[in-house]
Homo-oligomer: A and B are copies of this chain.
Amino acid sequence: MAVLSEEQTMLRDAAKSWVSEKSPVTAFRKLRDSGNADGFDRTAWSEMAQMGWAGILIPEEFGGSGLGYLTLGLVLEETGRTLTASPLVSTALTAATALLLGGNDAQKKAWLPKIAEGKAIATLAVDEAAHHAPARIALKATKSGTGWVLSGKKTFVLDGGAADLVIVAARTSGKSGDTSGITLFLVDGNAKGLSRQKLKSVDSRGVANLSFDNVEAGADAVLGSVDHGFGILEATLDRARAGLAAEMLGSATQAFETTLDYLKTRVQFGQVIGTFQSLQHRAAKMYTDLELTRSCVEAALSAIDNNSNDVAQLVSLAKAKANEVYHLVSNEMVQMHGGIGMTDAHDAGLYLKRARAAEATFGSAAYHRDRYASLLEY
């Protein structure tokens, strides 16, 4: 655990207790079984917003606390522990970041206060296929009069079904795969011509496929500058990846601790199974991986707060490690629980499903290994 300021410690502890009281895993299970179409609980979200979590990144002038990414990471780690499904990632982390990095004053005034209050759900729409690929943007934005018209599709958009604001990465010149020629647009979630298909994903989070059929956007809808949106997009994604990695670290840590408790109580062959050395060594290795991953996640978040020049490297490191450790721990959680871990009534399956969904979001481990190697030029 990083060395925290008093403010950070208080917020972390507040998150810990709220999550255990108001949002245990059973709450997520109920949400899942209720077939809630949003994929999150709006009452819980407004409570989170009241505690100031939606505005952790947002400066005070826009109604937030501006505490930064390491602080938001602390909260995400706690909500991750109980698989809390909320717009923290889509709205408070990703969309808020895009507005902060690329928005002009009017755009910030229009959206940041609403986000901080928890009144607006916002999200970033990037990918157009099954795998994360930020430069593979084909969704077309063409000039029409003073404004623009958007046509194309976006896939697996987090909270895309509930979003009031969709920040869309569109192609304004060049071809899919080019990093230049990408422009970000602010599009109203209910804009004419925008149809949203809510998906039933394995981890029951609210994701949607969006299709844009000549959706109109005014000149003032452009976030940042035309054709040069990729810089903001990548910077936004890196912050989203680091925050998601923190959430995954929390989930993996809880999955590990739950499993460790089981190892200490389940008896077979007249022994608590935690006394079997092969399980002990596997547990010790998981603990080691969790500690290594924590260092990477905290380093990435701090680097973002300090505007270090190695943010990209550290973020790909953090996301890759978080993917690997959550992958390992979620598999071991099922295996070490044995048959009971295979039942839907047990939590192991929930952690396993969330793990794979989070692994695939904003880049798989292989994606970030490739990126890391490319950043190091080999």
Contacts and interface: CB of A to CB of B under 8 A. Distances in A.
6 contacts: A276-B277, A277-B277, A277-B278, A278-B278, A278-B280, A278-B281
A366 to B, nearest CB: 15
Interface string A264-305: 000000000000111011000000000000000000000000
Contacts of A281: 278
Contacts of A278: 277-278, 280-281
A155 to B, nearest CB: 24
Interface residues of A, number: 5
Contacts of A276: 277
A207 B130 CA distance: 50
Nearest to A276: B277
A356 B278 CA distance: 28
Contacts of A280: 278
A284 to B, nearest CB: 10
A262 to B, nearest CB: 18
A97 B278 CA distance: 47
Interface of A: 276-278, 280-281
A59 to B, nearest CB: 50
A199 to B, nearest CB: 29
A315 to B, nearest CB: 28
Nearest to A280: B278
- With most chain B CB atoms within 10 A of its CB, the pick from A276, A277, A280 is A277
A241 B277 CA distance: 39
Nearest to A279: B277
A102 to B, nearest CB: 40
A290 to B, nearest CB: 19
Nearest to A284: B278
A356 to B, nearest CB: 23
A277 B280 CA distance: 10
A280 B279 CA distance: 12
Nearest to A282: B278
A37 B276 CA distance: 51
A47 to B, nearest CB: 46
Nearest to A281: B278
Contacts of A277: 276-278
A186 B85 CA distance: 72
A280 to B, nearest CB: 7
A144 B128 CA distance: 62
A103 to B, nearest CB: 44
A276 B281 CA distance: 11
A163 B171 CA distance: 65
A276 B277 CA distance: 7
A231 B281 CA distance: 50
A268 to B, nearest CB: 13
A275 to B, nearest CB: 10
A282 to B, nearest CB: 8
A281 B280 CA distance: 12
A277 B279 CA distance: 9
A278 B276 CA distance: 8
